[in-house]
Structure 1
């Protein structure tokens, strides 16, 4: 029997669709778009950025790193072109800054490698219909530490590689699954190893533009 192929229904362009950032999150569409948008008196020319949310008509808030700006508790949404309802949502509900964590299976305290542990409380949902927009048989959105980033604040460069051995070794109660599958809604916590005690958490699997939440 031929094994099923898996695919990350990614934010970046795929062989089937491309993603455009919008106010609620992103729009999956057949062709890339180009739009100019003003943000904090800066004229931006960001590939795949729409000026307004197609669902609400609200102005899109995008920082200079191409991240859609959200508040804690607000959902970033991915919507297929021509549809009115989102196909994917992710919400960062809370971020706790820690100077140590408990080592799994040991009970000892360990320190972060980059400076600070961030315990991210999040929720994600992927519509069952997501599978029809990809060639492969299984659609997933990743949720492990490797697809998150941080910055020191608004419009600051995003630092990645937060999935250190130290973060992986932490005993996390209610840990988030590493991905959400089509038709599922999951919640849980992700441990990140950050160089910043305050700033912004970014969800951006492809490094091409995602969502950001202040912490």
Structure 2
């Protein structure tokens, strides 16, 4: 199996493992205000909900790129280097495209989950240092300080915080379902982009060298 086909296969398989119950995307039935959608989009960005599928596209890359020469033996060393960079660039662009689509859909889900009166307090918290400390990475960036821990505890003891705790699992599940629906055309575009430039890396294609021209 060729390199590009394996990347798409593994990414698609990772997406399918995100099991989510089936939900209706809109729960309130009433028209959502522009203000609610603006606040909801800020919540999505602050919590990283729009990146929920990022690993589905990225996870297979290290292992597959390590096997690149075996998967595409027709390519020269220079062509391997160009293909590797083309794959990385294309996957990054696909991630950005998918995140933008999910941001829009997740914003509707969030706006339908909270009232316009609840959203300002929720968004203010998640955009604050205390709220961002909930997403500390392994390096310690955004790690909670003692004062931030107290602010986090205080938020989740208030009604808005309790609403978040009650509704976030449903919001995440609905967002994963939306992401699963949006991923196939993103993968198709990724395949088309890479196969157009590197037919040898795709299954069933006649090898025609189409290495991108070098810069001036």
Verify same fold: TM over 0.5.
no
> Whose helix proportion is higher, 1 or 2?
2
Structure number having the greater strand percentage:
1
Q: Answer 1 or 2: higher relative contact order, Cα 8 Å, separation at least 6.
A: 2
Please state which band the TM-score falls in when normalised by the shorter chain.
under 0.3
Give the structure with higher Rg (CA): 2
